[in-house]
Structure 1
Amino acid sequence: MSSVLRSAAWVAGGTVGAGAATLAYASLIERNLFGVREEAVAVLPPGSSPLRVLHLSDIHFVPNQNIKVRWLQSLADLEPDLVVNTGDNLSHPDAVPPLLEALKPLMRFPGVYVPGSNDYYGPMLKNPLTYFTGPSKISKEPPALPFGELFGAFEDAGWAGLTNRRDSMELRGVRLDFSGVDDPHLNRDVYAGFPSPESGAESRTVRVGVAHAPYQRVLNYFTDGDADLILAGHTHGGQVCVPFYGALVSNCDLPTRLAKGLSVWEHNGRRAPMNISAGIGTSRFAPVRFACRPEAVLLTLTARS
C-alpha cells in the first residue's frame, strides 16, 4: 500500500472512530448527565420574599429509566415553592405508573402544568435527520398515550391544569396569575388571557405565561398580556448542539439562539423574561444528547427594585 493510501485509510479510520465515540458519549453518557440550572429573575413586587420555582419539561419517560427516577425524586430536596411542568412527560404507553412514582416527592408542592404532544401521542420511529429539516410533523395516526391517567393524578395532587385556561394562586403574600395553552405544536393553543386582578391587588400580582412549545404567536399573546414571566420547553435546547455555537434547530419558529436558557421576549414595545428549558429526556427513538445536557431549572423569583 502506498503512503498516500495508508494516510487516507488512517484518516478515514480515525474519523469513523471519533464518530463512534461521539455517538457512544451522546447516547450512553450525556443524556444521563442530569443537572439543575439556576436562574434569578426580579419580577416580584417590591418587598416580596423570594419564591423558588422548579421548571420541569420534556421528561419523555420510558419504563426502567432508573437513573432518571432517582434524579427526579432528588429534586424534592430543593424544596421549591412551586413546580411548573411544561409537558411532554411521556414516551411510552406504560410510563405513567413509574413516572408518577418518580414525581411523587415533588407532587407535595403546589404545581401547575400544560400538555405537550408527547403526552397525547407516542413518538414514532423515523429518520432522525428529519429533525434538522424544520419543525417536526405529527403522524396522521400516532399511538395514543394515557394522558388522562397522568393528568388525573396531577389534579388529585393539587396541580392546576392550564390547558387553554387561566388560574391564580397565592404564595407568600404574592398572587400568581397564570395563563396557559394547549400544545402549540399541535395547533391546539387558544389564549384565554390572564385573570382579572382583584380590586387593589394588582400591585401584588405576578403574571406567568405557560406553554409547551414556544411558538412566536404564543409568546406574543403572553407578552401583549403584560406577562411578567414566560415558561416553556419543547426545544430540547437543540438536543444535538455544536460546542461553542449552540442549537442548530428549535423544532418550532423560535430563533435557535433562544432555544434554551433565560432571555427576554419583546413584542409591540413590551418585554417579558422567558425561560426555555433544554428538557430532561429525549424521544425513545432518538436517545442522544450532545453539548446539551438534560436539565431542570430552579428559578428564584426576587423582588423588583
Structure 2
Amino acid sequence: MTQKMPPPKYLALFMLIMLPTMTGYMAWEARTVDVTVLEIDGAPEGIVYITDPHVKASNIDHVREVIGEVNRLNPSLVLIGGDFTTGDESDFASQSVWRSLNAPAYAVLGNHDYRVGTDGPSGLERVLAVRASADVTATGYDLSALKDGSADTVFADELAAVLEENGVHVLRNDYVRVPVGGKEVVVVGLDDGWAGMADPPDIPASDAFTVYLIHEPSCRADWDADLILAGHTHGGQFLFPVIEQLNDHGAIELAGMFETNGTPTYISRGVCSASVAGVDLRFNCRPEIVLINPTEEQLRAIGGSS
C-alpha cells in the first residue's frame, strides 16, 4: 500500500513550529560547556586547555563563565589555542577578561588574530594552500607560501601586547619550560600557520613532557612531541550524524583525539561559537574545557558541576 505524504502546507507549518524550538536548543547548546577529561601518559596533573574564545560584546559573559569554571578547577597550567578575537575589533578592551585567570597561562595566536581566512572563500584558499604548497614535515617545515601580505601583523602585535598585559604569555615560535607538580613541561607555541607565520623553534632534547600548541590542526607536523593541542575547527559546530561518523573514522578531523606518526593530537571544539544571524549556535557539539590528567580534587569539582 502506498503511503501518502503530508500536503506541503502541513510540512511548512511543521517547519515553522519546529524552527524556533531547534534554534533555541542550538543557542542553549552554544552556552553549555563540557569538561572533557584526557588521560595522557607522562603528562603532569591538572593542565587545562581552551581555545577559540573569540571574545566580543555578545559573548563576554559566556567567556567570563568559562574562565570561572577554569578557576574552579584550580589548574596547574592553562594553555590557550588562539583566536582571541573575531578580527573586526577596533580595540582590545574586552581582552582584559583574562586578568581573572588564576593560573599561569600560555597561548598562541590564531588566524582571526591576524585577520586571515576569516570567511568561507578565504578560508578555503588557505586550506588549499596548505595542501598544495606547504611543507608540514618536521624536517622541512615551511608555511612561507601562505605569507602573502594579507596578514595584519600590526593587529596581531597589538593584541599580543594586550594579552601580555592581562597575564597571558603569548608564544610566537618560541618555547618555555614550566614546572608543574614536580615535573617539567616544555610548551612549544607556534605562531599562526594560515598567516604564514609558523616557524617551529629548535628544542633541546630533554625528558620533559613536551606539548606543541598550534591553532590549525592541518598545520601540524611529525614533531618529537608527547602531545599536540589544536583548535580552529569549533568541532564542526554543527555535528550532524554523517559528519560525526566521518570524524570518528578519521576521514575528516574536526574534534577529538587523532594520532600522527605516534604523536597524539587533540583538536578541541573550542569554548565559543561562530554566529549565525548574530546568534551563537551549535548542534551536537558543545563548547569544551579540556582537562588533562585531573587530580582527585578536580574530579570532585567536575562531579559537583554535573
- Normalised by the length of structure 2, the TM-score is 0.74
Asked if 1:206 is matched to 2:209, the reply is yes
Work out which of the residue numbers 159, 163, 174 in structure 1 matches 2:172: 163
Contact 1:169 1:175 in 2 (8 A): yes
Give the aligned residue type for 2:94. Answer: P
- Select between 90-99 and 78-87 the one with higher mean Cα deviation: 90-99
1:293 match: 286
Deviation at 1:93, TM superposition (A): 0.8
Question: How far, CA to CA, are the matches of 1:125 and 1:258 in structure 2?
Answer: 19
Is the 2:126–2:194 contact (alpha carbons within 8 Å) kept by the matching residues of 1?
no
CA–CA separation in structure 2 for the residues paired with 1:238 and 1:133: 18
For residue 237 of structure 1, report the CA deviation from its aligned partner.
0.4
Paired letter, 1:110:
P
**2:87 counterpart of 1:78:** no
Cα distance in 2 for residues equivalent to 1:34 and 1:301: 17
AA partner of residue 197 (structure 2): R
Q: Report how far residue 105 of structure 1 moved.
A: 2.0
- Change over 3 Å in CA distance of 1:112–1:189 after alignment to 2: same
Does the residue aligned with 2:85 lie in a helix, a strand or coil?
A: coil
CA 184–285 in structure 1, closer or farther in 2 if over 3 Å, else same:
farther
Aligned partners of 1:132 and 1:248 also within 8 Å = no
Moved more, 173-182 or 154-163: 154-163
**How much is the aligned-residue C-alpha RMSD, in angstroms?**
3.7
The one of 112, 117, 137 equivalent to 2:111 is 117
* Mapped partners of 1:36, 1:155: distance in 2: 26
Alignment deviations for residues 174-206 of structure 1 (CA, whole Å, 9 cap, x no partner): 121222211122332212242333xxxx3xx11
TM-aligned CA distance change 1:234 to 1:248, over 3 Å: farther
Count of paired positions: 272
Task: Tell me which residue corresponds to 2:271.
Answer: 280
Q: Which runs of 5+ in 1 are unaligned?
A: 45-49
> Which has the higher mean CA deviation after the structures are superposed, 32-41 or 131-140?
131-140
The one of 53, 78, 83 aligned to 1:88: 83
1:218 to 220, 223, 231: 220
Give, as a single letter, the amino acid of the residue that structure 2 aligns with 1:177.
V
TM-score by length of 1: 0.74
Alignment correspondent of 1:39: 38
Q: Using the alignment, how far apart are the partners of 2:112 and 2:213 within structure 1?
A: 17
What is the distance in 2 between the residues matched to 1:237 and 1:78? 23
2:92 and 2:159 in contact (8 A); partners too: yes
* Whole-angstrom CA distance in 1 between matches of 2:191 and 2:28: 33
Change beyond 3 A, Cα 1:90–1:284: farther
The change in CA–CA distance for 1:125 and 1:110 in structure 2 (over 3 A counts) is: closer
Residue 10 in structure 1 maps to residue 10 in structure 2: yes
Q: Counterparts of 1:37 and 1:256 in 2: how far apart (Å)?
A: 22
Gaps of 5+ in 2: 130-145, 296-306
CA separation of 1:63 and 1:299: change in aligned 2, threshold 3 A: same
SS at match of 1:178: strand
- Preserved CA contact (<8 Å) 2:191 2:197: yes
Q: Which amino acid aligns with 2:270?
A: G
Contact 2:82 2:110 (8 Å CA) reproduced: yes
Task: Compute the displacement of 1:162 (Å).
Answer: 2.2
CA contact (8 A) 1:63 1:94 kept: no
Report the residue type matching 2:76 in the other structure. D
Partner secondary structure for residue 168 of structure 1: strand
What is the alpha-carbon distance in structure 2 between the residues aligned to residue 132 and residue 289 of structure 1?
Answer: 21
Q: Which residue of 2 aligns with 1:233?
A: 231
% identity of equivalent residues: 24
Distance 1:266 1:73, change over 3 A: closer
Partner of 1:47: none
Query: Contact 1:124–1:142 (CA<8 Å) still a contact in 2?
Result: no
- Please give the secondary structure, in 1, of the residue aligned with 2:42: strand
Question: d(CA) in 2 for partners of 1:132 and 1:16?
Answer: 33
Aligned residue identity for 1:196: A
**1:154 to partner: Cα distance:** 3.3
Structure 1 residues 141 and 177, CA, compared in 2 at 3 Å: closer, same or farther?
closer
CA gap 1:148/1:194 in 2 versus in 1, 3 angstroms: same
In structure 2, the CA distance between the partners of 1:43 and 1:301, relative to structure 1 (3 Å rule), is farther
Question: For 1:39-60, what per-residue CA distance to the aligned partner results, in whole angstroms no more than 9, with x for missing partners?
Answer: 221224xxxxx42111110011
